[in-house]
Copies of this chain bind each other. A is one copy, B any other.
């Protein structure tokens, strides 16, 4: 089975670390294909960049040669999953939703800890759109920008663990979802600090994508995710560099 894992940022090192994380969770026989969008922002932290990433991921995946069996959109709280579901029949799994869905099997409530305060509303909207917000205790920001997390993971871990601990104590979360890239050692540190299960979106998404493929399930095409109707397109797709 081949699973595309699409980074939303155009920074290649992030694609690599997401790919490694995904590969670590994959079953034998699953090929993980990490993808960097062919245009867009180096890091995605807000609506403009997220809308651009949405369409960049769609175009980049369209340009990738079939066959593949599932697509993972590896950005936290990003736009666009619905568009991928229209364009393809294979299952599409967003890591925000994968983490929340997994967390709900482990505790009555969960919280998300993310990077910047401005991404909190995006994550809240995404959880709502996926029908997964009822048991969300809180979405908290560590205040660390995405590229900072990449550059100095050691420093970031403390800020994230602190917010996770407050989610458990103040917001009554029973599980924590990590809404920030693939730092080594992060999960262990947050488990240590909080004593609750910690879910990483990328690895959760891999197991869910594999499960959907194994069960032979594909995206419903009756209404919301029906294939686009044939249209005349103006100046699209773009001519790139």
Contact = CB atoms under 8 A, between A and B. Distances in A.
Interface of A: 10, 25, 27, 37-43, 45-52, 54-55, 58, 79-80, 82-83, 85-87, 91-93, 97, 101-102, 104-108, 117-118, 120-121, 125, 128-135, 145, 168, 172, 174-175, 195-197, 199, 203-204, 207-208, 210-212, 214-215, 217-226, 228-229, 231-236, 238-241
A46 B222 contact: no
B58 A55 contact: no
Given A55-B52, A83-B47, A235-B240, A197 B217 contact: yes
Contacts of A105: 91-93, 97, 101, 208, 212
Nearest to A226: B118
B218 A197 contact: yes
Nearest to A62: B48
Nearest to A43: B231
Nearest to A116: B229
A40 B215 contact: no
As for how many copies of this chain the complex holds, the number is 6
Given A101-B101, A128-B134, 15 more contacts: A25-B214, A38-B234, A39-B233, A42-B232, A47-B83, A47-B225, A48-B83, A121-B224, A131-B134, A145-B229, A174-B220, A203-B215, A204-B215, A211-B211, A235-B238
A105 B48 CA distance: 18
Contact of A121 (B51, B108, B168, B231): B108
Contacts of A85: 47
Contacts of A83: 47-48, 50-51
